[in-house]
A = this chain, B = another copy of it.
Amino acid sequence: MDKNNSSENQEQEEQVVNPWEVSAKGKIDYDKLIEKFGCQRLDQSIIDRVARLTGRPPHVFLRRAVFFAHRDFNEILDAYERGEKFYLYTGRGPSSEALHLGHLVPFMFTKYLQDAFKVPLVIQLTDDEKCMWKNLTVEESQRLARENAKDIIACGFDASKTFIFSDFDYVGGSFYKNMVKIAKCVTYNKVVGIFGFTGEDHIGKVSFPPVQAAPSFPSSFPHLFTGMDNLRCLIPCAIDQDPYFRMTRDVAPRLGYHKPALIESLFFPALQGETGKMSASDPNSAIYVTDSGKDIKNKINKYAFSGGQDSVENHRKYGANLEVDIPIKYLGFFLEDDAELEYIRTEYGAGRMLTGEVKKRLTEILTEMVERHRRARAAVTDEMVDAFMAVRPLPNMFR
């Protein structure tokens, strides 16, 4: 995202979206973002195509346009129809132990993609990035990476098809060779334009983008994809990661590689509303996977921004403002039943259903989700983490 300082652009630059900053005056304008970034909307025809090709209903995040934009997803589907497989690549920057629901979104969707298309997956834990940006020690960022791996594994990935790696463990060999090849193709001016680095930034930051680009190319994983240089890559991620992969797609043809395809999600809204920021320092801005049922009920009731009217009388008269109501938005993410969601939206929008009911339903859903996650995570042992992170071939990765 160009951080162009000319005054002309500053008027247009009401919103800033890059891997380290997401902010806007008011809500994020996703239409403008798609236009500025140059990616495509995910339309209904693609969603129908996915359902047809995978023989199962499309994931709730597709139906509700949580994943709403893409680059070359059609080409992935074209190739898949021809019998050509692909692999998935997603990641996490392990900056804290506390994961919230927004962090789970890309992993929930990626698990669906793995199951639906029966393809392998690599997951990058960018402990080096967090060490560099968050001023963590090497040891601390590695520790966080392993802790986060447990939450990721708890999302239900198939160990026979999934390779999780931390940069501090894995960078080297073929991966490092690709980092160098990529770095040769990107000037300093270019990364300034894409990421907004300045002369006072340390060179670790400048050298990082190739690290996040490298997993887009199958030759970075010789233990998995030797001899499969033509294997395509699909990257599910939040749209703030787009700059890394715009850069990568620009470089790929010069290295004789396929451009990675992307499928991108909106930002998960903070409890206090779309204009708020989820922040690790404000525990009431998000629902964490470590929250108890009581915490969840309390946070939803007290902090979830309501689009309902200020009195029951007004609410029955005017109905709720669905555009700003956070519980409705959260239900959009996590209530799988389209019919029930439509019902709630209609009733609440007309004022026949009250805020309390909506929040109660949401609390039920989130509590069940968080408790399932917590049980799954408690069952993840260090041995399982080692298994997912072992550098090993995945002989059944396309079954």
6 A-B pairs, CB-CB below 8 angstroms?
A132-B183, A168-B177, A184-B204, A187-B199, A203-B210, A204-B210
Partner of A128, one of B180, B187, B199, B203: B180
CA distance A322 to B202 in the complex (A): 48
CB of A226 within 8 A of chain B?
A: no
The reply to whether B206 and A180 form a contact with Cβ atoms under 8 Å apart is no
CB contacts (< 8 Å) of A181 on chain B: these are 138
Give the 5 A-B CB pairs with smallest separation, nearest first. Answer: A172-B172, A207-B207, A183-B204, A189-B199, A184-B204
A 168-195 to B, binary, CB cutoff 8 A, 1 in contact else 0: 1111110011001101111111011000
Besides A188-B199, A188-B202, A191-B203, 7 more A-B contacts (Cβ < 8 Å) are: A168-B173, A171-B176, A172-B176, A183-B203, A183-B207, A188-B201, A206-B206
CB of A35 within 8 A of chain B?
A: no
Q: How far is the CB of A200 from chain B (nearest CB, A)?
A: 5
Given contacts A168-B177, A183-B132, A188-B188, contact A203 B209 (CB under 8 A): yes
Given contacts A138-B181, A180-B131, A206-B207, contact A188 B200 (CB under 8 A): yes
The reply to whether A204 and B180 form a contact with Cβ atoms under 8 Å apart is yes
Q: How far is the CB of A273 from chain B (nearest CB, A)?
A: 36
CB of A197 within 8 A of chain B?
A: yes
A 201-220 to B, binary, CB cutoff 8 A, 1 in contact else 0: 11110110110000000000
CB contacts (< 8 Å) of A207 on chain B: these are 183, 203, 206-207, 210
The reply to whether A187 and B201 form a contact with Cβ atoms under 8 Å apart is yes
Partner of A188, one of B135, B138, B203: B203
- Residues facing B in A123-175 (CB within 8 A) are 128, 131-132, 135, 138, 167-173
Residues of chain A whose beta carbon lies under 8 Å from any beta carbon of chain B: 128, 131-132, 135, 138, 167-173, 176-177, 180-181, 183-189, 191-192, 197-204, 206-207, 209-210
Q: Which B-chain residue is minimally distant from A177 (CB atoms)?
A: B138
CB contacts (< 8 Å) of A199 on chain B: these are 187-189, 192
CB contacts (< 8 Å) of A132 on chain B: these are 180, 183-184
CA distance A180 to B172 in the complex (A): 13
Q: How far is the CB of A178 from chain B (nearest CB, A)?
A: 9
CA distance A186 to B132 in the complex (A): 12
Q: How far is the CB of A118 from chain B (nearest CB, A)?
A: 32
CA distance A180 to B133 in the complex (A): 11
CB contacts (< 8 Å) of A188 on chain B: these are 188, 197-203, 206
CB contacts (< 8 Å) of A176 on chain B: these are 128, 167-168, 171-172
CA distance A191 to B186 in the complex (A): 17
Q: Which B-chain residue is minimally distant from A133 (CB atoms)?
A: B184
Q: How far is the CB of A365 from chain B (nearest CB, A)?
A: 41
CA distance A183 to B207 in the complex (A): 9
CB contacts (< 8 Å) of A177 on chain B: these are 138, 168
CB contacts (< 8 Å) of A135 on chain B: these are 184
CB contacts (< 8 Å) of A204 on chain B: these are 180, 183-184, 210
The reply to whether A200 and B187 form a contact with Cβ atoms under 8 Å apart is yes
CB contacts (< 8 Å) of A210 on chain B: these are 203-204, 207
The reply to whether A203 and B180 form a contact with Cβ atoms under 8 Å apart is no
Q: Which B-chain residue is minimally distant from A128 (CB atoms)?
A: B180
CA distance A132 to B132 in the complex (A): 23
Given contacts A131-B180, A180-B131, contact A200 B206 (CB under 8 A): no
Q: Which B-chain residue is minimally distant from A200 (CB atoms)?
A: B187
CB contacts (< 8 Å) of A167 on chain B: these are 176
Given contacts A128-B180, A180-B131, A180-B132, contact A186 B171 (CB under 8 A): no
CB contacts (< 8 Å) of A170 on chain B: these are 172
